[in-house]
Amino acid sequence: MPHGPLDGVKVLDLSEDIAGSFCGRLLADYGADVLKLEPPTGAALRRMPPFFGDDPHPEKSLFFLAMNLNKKGATVNLKTGAGRQLLKELIPHIDVVVESYKPGYLEDLGLGYEALESINPGLVMTSITPFGQTGPYSQYAGEEIVNYAMGLIMSISGQQGREPLKHGGFQAQYEGGLNGAAATAMALFMQGNTGEGQHIDVSITECVASTMMATQTMYPFIGATQPRRRPSGSNFGHPMPCEDGWIIVQTGGGATWETIANFFRDPRLHEERFTDTAERNRNGEELDRIVLESISERGKWDLFTEAANSRMLFGLVQTPSELAECPQLDSRDFYRDVDHPVIGKIKVPAVLFNLSLTPYQYLMPAPTLGQHNREIYLEGLGYSQQDLVLLRQTDSI
């Protein structure tokens, strides 16, 4: 049985960060053979929290674990001539390089796209960086908050009169990884048809901005800028506190206003100042008071089920531990049990989407540092045990 739709694709993942690693992992999840190539000191992601048991051991970063499932791992030091030689010897055997170094770094080492493509015509190289390979900010340093600020989303997040608000976590980095995987899959399809490779230039900031459909188009359509949320007015579409947490409700979908009014069990909601859409917007503050009172003694799970039965668009704010124990995710086999040589057994978010013929397969945990050096260099490239010792002595692997 093939491992996935990308069965047979061979990938070198040179990335040390979240975005490139996530890209490589998605390729691995759907069938590609992915080799993580790290510097001898380990990828930067190995030093990122959270750690298993809060122990900052290089093999215990849960972030590294999650982003590197299903990959093999070897080390190479691109700062040494012997290390660069190793990479060049691997290139003829592979289809895709994923990397996230500062633009120009690999070129300066003689390992840019043109140099590698001359070794292997048809090579696809996917570079994922904060601002892309070109343009005045290409050499600028990125961080999640900066990607968010320059990707427009902060300008409409948070409230008017306060500072713009960043989305929690590392969404921008994941977005860069997912777009990198999508572009790589398209390039691989084309490569299969024409034999032609590509250098793909992914900008993480542009990934964030790509979600800003209404925000961007408002300017060339009416010359206006979208604001952040007003501090008062209707909370519909925003989290509202209930007895034991927060819920969120939207109009639309399969539910009429009458259904929604019944759901909140207050006769005032059937009055015309709420049944009429425009009137409802004008009476947002009063609407909030009624709704918040109505849900103040009702639990989020009961509300969630009842709303679904009424065909309402409704969500509840779940916490990470609730997500970890979610029956819906279990019904989709979203989590997979991983047995890691240092961490031990742990379940990990695994399946991005389901495929009928070549489904997701869990094959192996994230690699330990240099775990597959022997397999790659001895068996793969034909180096001798003595060569490996020498490469280690010169800090090349």
Partner 1 sequence: MATSNMKTGKLPLEGIRVLDSTYVFALPYAGGLLADMGAEVIKVEGPGRPDVTRTGGYSGVFAENDLGEDWWNRPSTYNLIHRGKQSITLDMTDERGRELFKELVMVSDVVMENFTPRVMRSWGLDYPNLRKLRPDVILVSNTGYGHGDGPYSGYPAQATTQEATHGHCWITGYPPGHPNEGPAKAGASFVDFLSTWTALFAIGAALRYRARTGLGQWVDMGMYQSGVMFLSEYVLDAIANGREGGRIGNRHPWRAPQGCYPAAGDDQWITLSVGDDSQWRSLCEVMGQPELASDPRFSAIGGRRQNHDALDEVIAAWTSTRDRYDTMHALQAVGIPAGPVLTGRDIHYDPHFKSRNFLERVKYPPERQMGERMFLSRPYKFSKSPLHIQGPSPAFGGHNEPALRELLGVSDEAYRQLVEDVVITTVPTTGEPSPVVPQAEALERGIIAAWDPDYLKRLGLA
Q: Identify the residue among 86, 202, 290, 369 touching partner 1 (CB under 8 A).
A: 202
317 makes contact with partner 1 (CB under 8 A): yes
Pairing of strands 344-349, 335-340: antiparallel
182 makes contact with partner 1 (CB under 8 A): yes
Q: Which of 23, 25, 22, 28 is nearest to 9 (CA)?
A: 28
In angstroms, the CA 138 to CA 108 distance is 15
In angstroms, the CA 326 to CA 303 distance is 17
330 makes contact with partner 1 (CB under 8 A): yes
Closest separation in Å from C-beta 271 to partner 1: 21
Closest separation in Å from C-beta 231 to partner 1: 7
Residue burial 50-82, b: 16+ Cβ < 10 Å; e: rest: ebbeeeeeebbbbbbbbbbbbbbbbbbbbebee
140 makes contact with partner 1 (CB under 8 A): yes
152 contacts: CB under 8 Å, gap ≥ 6: 208, 209, 212, 215, 216
Q: Identify the residue among 136, 267, 272, 393 touching partner 1 (CB under 8 A).
A: 136
57 makes contact with partner 1 (CB under 8 A): no
Rg, C-alpha atoms of the chain: 25
10 makes contact with partner 1 (CB under 8 A): no
| Distance from the Cα of residue 175 to its chain's centroid | 5
Subset of 73-112 contacting partner 1 (CB under 8 A)? none
Report which DSSP code applies to 50.
P
Site size with partner 1, rule: CB under 8 A = 159
In angstroms, the CA 34 to CA 239 distance is 40
Binding segment toward partner 1, per CB under 8 A, in 76-84, 265-273, 312-320, 384-392:
312-320
Question: Contact, 238 vs 184, CB < 8 A?
Answer: no
43 makes contact with partner 1 (CB under 8 A): no
Q: Between residues 80 and 171, which has the closer beta carbon with respect to partner 1?
A: 171
121 makes contact with partner 1 (CB under 8 A): no
Closest separation in Å from C-beta 128 to partner 1: 9
| 3-state secondary structure (DSSP) of residue 176 | helix
Q: Between residues 196 and 243, which has the closer beta carbon with respect to partner 1?
A: 196
Closest separation in Å from C-beta 93 to partner 1: 19
Subset of 210-269 contacting partner 1 (CB under 8 A)? 210-228, 230-231, 237-239, 241, 246-250, 252-255
